Amino acid sequence: MRPRYSRILLRFWKNCLLREMTFRGHFILRVFGEVGWVFLLLVFIEVIFSKTSHVRGWSEPQYLFLMGTHMLVTSLFETLFFENCWRISDLVRKGDLDFVLVKPANTQFLLTFERIDFASLANLPVGIALCTYAAIQGGFTITFGHSVLFVLLIGTGVCMLYAMLFMFALTSVWLIRQTGLDALWFYAMSLSRYPAEIYRGFAGGTLWFVCVFVVPVLMVANLPANVMVRTFTTPFIINFIVAAAVLLILSNIALRWALRSYRSASS
């Protein structure tokens, strides 16, 4: 008798929605914060392009499109996975992971999907609007095929980010107290927000290498944006998808490994 995962998922989301509705003030403040942050980023872009017309070959509409793409990726990740990854260290510290482990369903599934953060979803329409605006401003020609690839790559990028943060969250099994996940996510985002071309010189080159090949966060927004408004190469896309698949498999192996060391705190 296999667990009915789609029904569990639906019930998770329903519970999250019920919870969100009991804290409306919290929800509104969150949305305000999320959208406000995006507004400030746009102010920064305006400041940049009031001083220069191009940033390493990216025109303003192209840059705005990258920004929109980045918002789509972060919004999806934060809605679906961030809180779940964040919770893991709490579950470990308080020993509440016990309850997840005794449930007759896949542990990674339960850990990954229990929470959904509806407030972060607010940036999804904003991102779509920004991409649309940028595409019209830049007069980009966008085919149906490109759009499908775009959506696919965004999904791939989100999965990739999930796998990496999930693995990072699992380190709390050994470190017990671990609070760096939000900072790490912030840094990952501050890296991937910019065009990959700005990473030049010794420090930039090193960072580029690390963030493309070791901790592949740099391409999650750059690649889909490039596909839509600039150029791209097929091998790179294939490597990107393969890397995401490998990371997902690794995240499962990491979980099994972490659970072997899990001590289950008592109180």
Partner 1 sequence: MAEIHVRDLHKNYRVHVKPAGLGASVKSLFHRTYKEVQAVDGISFEIEPGEMVGFLGPNGAGKTTTLKMLSGLIYPSSGSVSVMGFVPWQRKNEYRRQFALLMGQKNQLWWDLPANESFRLHKEIYHIEDDLFKRVHGELTELLEVENLLDQPVRELSLGERMKMELIAALLHSPRVLFLDEPTIGLDVVAQTNIRHCLQQYNQERQVTILLTSHYMRDIEALCDRVLVIDHGRLVHDGLLRDITERFATHKLLQLRFQNGRMPERPEEFGEVTDLTPPRLTLRVPREQVPQCVSHLLDCYDVDDIAIEDPSIENVISALFRQTAEQASDDVVVAETMNG
Partner 2 sequence: MGKYFVVFRVSLAERMVYRADFFMSTFLRFIPIITTILLWRAIYDGADQTEIGGLHYEQMVSYYLLIMIVRAFGSMPKLATSIALAIREGELRKYILQPIDYLTYMLTLRCAHKLVYFVMSAIPYTLIFWICADYLPGWPGPMMFCLSVLTLTMTFCIGFAINSLIGLLGFWFLEVATFIHAFMTLQYFLSGHMFPLSLLPKSVEQVVTWLPFAYETYYPTLILLQKVSVDEALRIIAVQFVWGVVVGGICLVAWKRGLHRYAAFGG
Contact residues for partner 2 (CB under 8 A)?
23, 25-26, 29-30, 32-33, 36-37, 40, 43-44, 47-48, 51-56, 175, 177-180, 183-184, 186-187, 190-191, 193-195, 197-201, 203-204, 207
Residue 101 contact partner, candidates partner 1, partner 2, none, CB within 5 to 8 A by sort of partner: partner 1
Residue 184 contact partner, candidates partner 2, partner 1, none, CB within 5 to 8 A by sort of partner: partner 2
94 binds partner 1 (CB under 8 A): yes
30 binds partner 1 (CB under 8 A): no
Residue closer to partner 1, measured from CB, 8 or 243: 8
238 Cβ contact list (under 8 Å, min separation 6): none
Instruction: Output phi, psi for 58, to 5 deg.
Output: -95, 120
Closest contact distance (angstroms) between CB of 187 and partner 2 is: 5
> H helices within the chain, ranges in order?
5-22, 24-51, 60-77, 83-94, 97-101, 107-113, 123-138, 144-170, 172-175, 181-192, 201-209, 219-229, 234-261
Query: What are the tokens at 38?
Result: 């995006």
Closest contact distance (angstroms) between CB of 17 and partner 2 is: 18
- Asked if 178 contacts 86 with a C-beta cutoff of 8 angstroms, the reply is no
Closest contact distance (angstroms) between CB of 244 and partner 2 is: 22
Q: How far apart are CA 140 and CA 137, in angstroms?
A: 8
Three-state SS for 261?
helix
Q: Using CB under 8 A as the criterion, which residues of the chain lie in contact with partner 1 when the complex forms? A: 1, 3-4, 7-8, 10-12, 14-15, 18-19, 22-23, 94-96, 98-99, 101-105, 107, 110, 260, 262-267
